[in-house]
Amino acid sequence: MASSAAAAAQAATPLLKDELDIVIPTIRNLDFLEMWRPFFQPYHLIIVQDGDPKKTIRVPEGFDYELYNRDDINRILGPRASCISFKDSACRCFGYMVSKKKYIYTIDDDCFVSFFPPFHPSINFASVRSVSVKVAKDPSGKDINALEQHIKNLLSPSTPYFFNTLYDPYRDGADFVRGYPFSLREGAPTAVSHGLWLNIPDYDAPTQLVKPLERNSRYVDAVMTIPKGTLFPMCGMNLAFDRDLIGPAMYFGLMGDGQPIGRYDDMWAGWCTKVITDHLGLGVKTGLPYIWHSKASNPFVNLKKEYNGIFWQEELIPFFQSASLPKEADTVQKCYLELAKQVRAKLGKVDGYFNKLADSMVTWIEAWDQLNPPKGAVATANGTAKSK
């Protein structure tokens, strides 16, 4: 009887409760958290407030959180705060930097679980407990716990060197297929879990304009490793990663206010991260979990933000496809600084913006090390680490 009670208590304990932070960028009150309360409340939240720092952001009661606005970012990083984007969700990466946990899950504030009655934009989420709330379900009728699935993805290996046609062989009910090399079945550590979305697809502005009513209702019950040498368009609205393994590479670039490009923040981080995970022998998974993306952004506003990027990406993709890192680059920081050099040397010819971005990549690593000094070192008041 005692053992069954202990097992029940263990089952009720959320996975990685004290090892994971949830990072949310926002410009508005976070009433949407009411819908995520059953899954998020046990975890610590890091909220990065964009826009006017004088605005008060309301967070529902009962959540453990810390909130940073632009004034806080400037105070903590000093001159190095210039690497953190303003008026853009790219500011979320500041939350990655200040976290002290091993794992990060980040989600946009317009992503929900589904519920009954059906979603309507006028609903008051503060009173959501008075309606019949239910989480999205998979085709079998089982509730989807997005955070739990991300954790399972991160805690199991990846298979970047040889594609398994049954997708993730470490999931229940799956395995390595005939012909899969036994020497590769231990897999590689998983650094990134990239989740997907139902309802509003993550389209670029031109696709939004030609398919304004398109919605994603396809639920594919699969998780797969993105093969080594293959890039992918990473979306930051439903993303988890191992901060210890890849955190310093998760810089969302210079976007938003004062910059000639927007809406490429997560993709820039994804391209850099994929080059580095390939080099360091780490894995990236994509697929489950799904979340419900509720709000389609304005395609005309998006086009203005994406305009340069749509042209530049035809240069960016070949650059990352051909990027090579030296053997001496044996840490994420060293890899990232080497990439910054290559960005300056090769992409600086595309547009002067990339010289500025390369500078910010270096500043980002300096800021990361300022707040996360290497083990055996302590940070001084000006952020320089000294050995103990």
Q: Are strands 385-387 and 377-379 parallel, antiparallel or unpaired?
A: antiparallel
pLDDT tens per residue across span 134-189: 456 677 777 679 999 999 999 999 999 999 999 999 999 999 999 999 999 999 99
Lowest pLDDT segment from 40-44, 294-298, 303-307? 294-298
* Domain boundaries along the sequence of the chain: 20-115+134-371
Q: For a pLDDT cut of 90, what percent of the chain falls above it?
A: 81
Are the C-beta atoms of 261 and 313 separated by less than 8 Å?
no
Quick: pLDDT tens for 177-209.
999 999 999 999 999 999 999 899 999 999 999
Give SS3 for 350. coil
The DSSP symbol for 376 reads T
Query: How far apart are alpha carbons 137 and 154 in whole angstroms?
Result: 22
Cα torsion 120, 126, 129, 135: sign:
positive
| Burial (CB count within 10 angstroms: exposed 0-12, middle 13-18, buried 19+), residue 4 | exposed
Q: How many CA atoms lie within 13 A of 306 on its CB side?
A: 20
Please name which of 11, 66, 58 lies closest in space to residue 31, comparing C-alpha atoms: 58
- CA–CA distances in Å: residue 26 to residues 11, 221, 275: 32, 30, 29
CATH value of 20-115+134-371 in 3.40.50, 2.40.50, 3.40.720, 3.90.550:
3.90.550
AA letter at 26: T
The per-residue pLDDT for 6 is 43
Amino acid making up residue 124: N
Q: What percent of the chain has pLDDT over 70?
A: 87
Which tens digit of pLDDT belongs to each residue from 83-124? 999 999 999 999 999 999 999 999 999 887 654 334 444 444
CA-wise closest residue to 244 among 39, 20, 5, 51: 20
Could you tell me the two tokens for 236? 């930051």
pLDDT at 133 over 60: no
Tokens of 53: 């720092």
In angstroms, what CA-CA distances link 36 with 93, 125, 133? Answer: 21, 11, 10
Tokens of 57: 């952001």
Cα Rg of the chain (Å, integer): 21
What was the pLDDT predicted at 127? 42
Phi, psi of 378 (to 5 degrees): -125, 150
Helices (H), the chain: 2-12, 33-40, 70-77, 93-98, 146-155, 205-210, 243-246, 265-280, 299-322, 332-342, 353-371
The answer for residues whose C-beta is within 8 angstroms of residue 311's C-beta and 6 or more apart is none
Phi, psi of 68 (to 5 degrees): -120, 130
